[in-house]
């Protein structure tokens, strides 16, 4: 009797086998040439929290944001592909790649998504792709798409401040977090991939350094995001050597440490600063002016660390040449 009842419940319940198995929408390596900027807002109230109770979301955010490293990367072209096969039901193109601050408010009205595509996966499931590059939409309404189909390119259209694709997954019209389909919040960390929709496990990103380098001055933030200050060679009379790091998911009381080593690996500078507030994206920089007689020629190392509760959660370094 019990066995028959269990079988009936299984038949009457939504079959897990019918849930879509999702692939990430960008062909990239997360943490190297792309990163997750924001997760779905799991807080039902006026505040915001991701599915780990962390701050990597904002109030009312309904999708997962997969970002590229810079505007230069966007301009070079980064294809967006479906997370699952299906049929295109809606699309929009023609909005400028001007972002939230550069797009006229009347054009943004009811068009926060910018250029986008909506796909029906069957069984009540759908996915929406936002902020695609102007003129890049490569599919038509009614077209059946596979995992290999290019929908368009990552862009900067609609209500956005950085090039990325925003992906919203829905089941029967209701937003589903592909990292947390059971909606059980596990504060302090991911509760495991068992309730994920991703075909390949995508670990939770608590915050990371996604770009770093050297400059001859404190960089301009907008130019840094655009892809500037990526030089690897500097003259011995450079007016300054300034290490910088671009960071996603920094939290209040985190520390950012920047270290530069001379060619003999003695320390040129080590600077550590505490973050005063939580930010989806930020940058920090530190360096020194040219010493008398110029910079020693050779290979320098610039390292950046994101430190939380006294432990580094992200660290990376880059080698820089000065002189010949």
Q: Which of 5-19, 73-87, 98-112 has the weakest average pLDDT?
A: 5-19
The answer to whether 70 and 52 are in contact (CB under 8 A) is: no
Print the SS3 string covering 188-247: CCCCCHHHCCECCCCCCCCCEEEEEEEECCCCCHHHHHHCCCCCCEECCCCCEEEEEEEE
The predicted pLDDT at position 4 comes to 39
Q: Cβ atoms within 10 A of the Cβ of 294, count? A: 13
Can you list the domains of the chain with their CATH numbers? 19-195 (2.70.70.10), 208-322 (2.60.40.2550)
Q: What are phi and psi of 200, to 5 degrees?
A: -115, 135
User: How far is Cα 257 from Cα 253, in angstroms, rounded to an integer?
Assistant: 13
Give yes or no for residue 15 having a pLDDT over 50. Answer: no
Contacts of 8 (CB under 8 A, 6+ apart): none
Which tokens go with 177?
Answer: 């977090």
State the first-to-last Cα distance of the chain, in angstroms, to the nearest integer. 83
The answer to whether 67 and 8 are in contact (CB under 8 A) is: no
Q: What are phi and psi of 101, to 5 degrees?
A: -85, -20
The answer to whether 191 and 295 are in contact (CB under 8 A) is: no
Which tokens go with 149?
Answer: 């189909």
Confidence bin at 1 (pLDDT 50/70/90): very low
The answer to whether 59 and 46 are in contact (CB under 8 A) is: yes
Which tokens go with 100?
Answer: 């939230």
Q: Cβ atoms within 10 A of the Cβ of 188, count? A: 9
Block residue for tokens 């309404």: 141
Contacts of 89 (CB under 8 A, 6+ apart): 118, 119, 120, 126, 141, 142
> Cα 56 vs. chain centroid, distance in angstroms?
10
The answer to whether 242 and 217 are in contact (CB under 8 A) is: yes
User: How large is the average pLDDT for residues 223-229?
Assistant: 94
The predicted pLDDT at position 188 comes to 79
Which tokens go with 294?
Answer: 């110029």
Confidence bin at 7 (pLDDT 50/70/90): very low
The predicted pLDDT at position 42 comes to 94
Confidence bin at 314 (pLDDT 50/70/90): very high
The predicted pLDDT at position 119 comes to 98
* Closest to 301 in 3D by CA, of 284, 319, 324, 313: 319
What pTM was computed for the model? Answer: 0.89
| Secondary structure of residue 91 in the 3-state scheme | strand
């Amino acid at each position: 009797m019990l066995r028959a009842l269990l079988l009936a419940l299984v038949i009457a319940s939504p079959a897990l086998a019918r849930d879509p198995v999702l692939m990430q929408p960008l062909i990239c390596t997360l943490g190297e040439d792309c990163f997750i900027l924001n997760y779905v807002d799991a807080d039902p109230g006026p505040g915001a929290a991701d599915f780990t109770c962390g701050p990597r979301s904002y109030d009312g955010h309904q999708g997962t944001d997969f970002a590229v490293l810079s505007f230069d990367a966007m301009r070079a072209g980064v294809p967006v592909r479906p997370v699952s096969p299906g049929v295109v039901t809606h699309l929009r193109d023609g909005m400028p790649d001007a972002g939230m601050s550069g797009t006229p408010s009347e054009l943004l009205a009811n068009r926060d998504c910018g250029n986008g595509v909506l796909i029906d996966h069957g069984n009540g499931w759908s996915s929406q792709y936002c902020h695609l590059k102007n003129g890049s939409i490569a599919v038509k309404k009614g077209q059946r798409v596979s995992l290999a189909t290019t929908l368009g390119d990552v862009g900067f259209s609609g209500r956005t401040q950085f090039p990325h694709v925003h992906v919203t997954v829905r089941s029967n019209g209701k937003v589903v977090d592909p990292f947390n389909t059971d909606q059980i919040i596990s504060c302090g960390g991911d509760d495991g991939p068992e309730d994920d929709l991703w075909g390949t496990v995508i670990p939770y990103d608590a915050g990371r350094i996604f770009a770093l380098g050297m400059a001859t001055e404190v960089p301009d933030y907008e130019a840094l995001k655009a892809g500037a200050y990526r030089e690897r060679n500097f003259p011995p009379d450079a007016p300054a050597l300034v290490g910088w790091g671009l960071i996603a998911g920094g939290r209040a009381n985190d520390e950012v440490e920047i270290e530069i080593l001379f060619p003999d690996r003695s320390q040129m500078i080590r600077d550590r600063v505490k973050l005063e507030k939580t930010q989806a994206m930020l940058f920090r920089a530190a360096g020194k002016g040219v010493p008398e007689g110029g910079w020693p020629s050779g290979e320098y190392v610039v390292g950046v660390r994101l430190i939380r509760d006294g432990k580094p959660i992200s660290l990376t370094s880059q080698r820089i040449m000065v002189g010949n």
